[in-house]
Structure 1
Amino acid sequence: MSTGRFTTSDGTSLVVEYGGPADAEVTVVLVHGWTQDRRTWDRVDALLPPQVRRVRYDLRGHGESAPPAPGTATIDRLADDLADVVEAFAPTGRLVLAGHSMGGMTIMALADRHPKLVRDRVDGVTFVSTACAGMGRVTLGLPGVAGAAAHRIERRLAAALVRYRRDRLPLGRTAARLGARLLVFGRRPRRADVESVADQLLRAHPASVGAFQNEISLHDRTTALAVLRRTPGVVMAGTADRLCSTRHARAIADELEASRLVLCPGAGHMLPQERAREVAQEISALCRVPSVPISAG
């Protein structure tokens, strides 16, 4: 894989990683989620067919990419960034898009803002642990009073992050690790995966994280899914996901005539780590190229 810096149409510097044959018939573009970076896809990327080109990148405000300019920490702008990345790193050929969490929301926004690109070039889409709407009241899967309290805490945290200064209130690795273990994983996660998720969180730009959380709470792209209605696709969710539930996954699948719903028993929000083999198999099937044996998960 090669890594380089790329400047978007609004002047933001992103780090992009790409590999595979430059003349491949299919390019898989992997879009990570909120508070994470391109390392989300490490396990999945290693299991994709060698015949396809792979592109993944750090969203603005995440990983090694630059923080967004004021007013540009929006899912709409993430969709425009995705269009820019496709134009620069996969200008021809078929596309298979895979988005995890906010990455899936970014693909929905791409369909809304760049429908011609999606209709002309996207031959497959994988929505992983994401939602098309209904994220305004996150209860972490808790019922009643406990769920209402979780929602209030989540909103206050988003507001605090927008004002956050790393030098005044550093977030410790232990707290990040504990939060990751409790909130985004299902049963028996690998320690290395928990460490990776925590490290990605600590690398994200705090104010951007808060602003994007506000965007997630307002996200509603149900009607935009009409652009992808007949595109072959897969909607994946963990049955123990506390952030984007199986209800959210079913709502997406209901809008997509050519999609399948795949539920992963006992898995949480981080399917690219928890169920890397299954995610890679679903993406590979959409590529419609001869597959290679997948032995790791």
Structure 2
Amino acid sequence: MTIEFQDVTKRFGQSKALNNVSFTVERGEIVGLLGPNGAGKTTTLRLISGFLYPTRGKVLVSGQDTRNHAREIRSQLGYLPENNPMYEDMKVWEFLSFIGQVFLYRPKKLRRAIANVVEISSLGEVVNKNIGTLSKGFRQRVGLASCLVHDPDILILDEPTSGLDPNQVIEIRNLIKELSSTKTILLSTHILPEVSAICQKVLIMNHGEVVADSAVSVLSKSGETKIHLEIKGKHPELSEQFKIMPEVMTVSHKGQGPNTSFVITADKDISAEISEYCLMKKLAILSLFHEEVSLEDVFRRLTHKNVEN
């Protein structure tokens, strides 16, 4: 099961929520959809699930256009919206049965399906309890179970760990990892460690546009390096010299007592070039080391740059 956006634009009146968005999610991938509030993440998920249609362009699920095949596509999707609404006066099994009846008409098949998702989601101890009495972690498990009753090929999860405590977050992440062995999963979140923990690929959105589409491991490296340099003496003027190096992206400096420290972001490790320059200028290097830029740094750079532009 694949998901494909082809030059998708979505307008709400005069407001443009998505602008010419294109991407593909391949079968069996866990893809993280990242972006600040208002980036277009939830609109993207609703377009995939057929609750919205594009103003321009196409959304394809397994090659089928959501506009023309919404019913068939919805039968292949499990969608967990943010703050998933549930009937709090229902018992867990009643709610799962209620959801399951939309897709599964044979009682025997429905009972087997409910038993299966209760086991997968570890809901056995609360299956006969009212949803309104459950902790947030168990409620989120019930929400995930309701997405799985009809055994969909694709899971669309909108902020699945929002509001959970650290232990509950780990439990839900582990469950999502287990489900990925048989499902294609698109996970919307603003929690960057979540993407690093469970996703193979990341889409970063900002102001309705995709600003990055890459494997997490590739994006985390992103060809960038942070270089930390400390030089003996007061030399703030070196910032301008470092900035004109072709590989350098940003330079910041601060005085530390009698010395000067720099943080240089470059599109590759240029520690050797910086060392050579300092030796040529007869500057005493107290420390020089580099580190890879984190996913958080890449996210901030991409979304901040988009705002500036």
- TM > 0.5 between the two? no
Q: Answer with 1 or 2: which has the greater Rg.
A: 2
- Give the structure-2-normalised TM-score: 0.27
Larger relative helix fraction? 1
Pick the structure with more strand per residue.
2
Bigger RCO (CA 8 Å, 6+ sep): 1
What is the TM-score normalised by the length of structure 1? Answer: 0.28
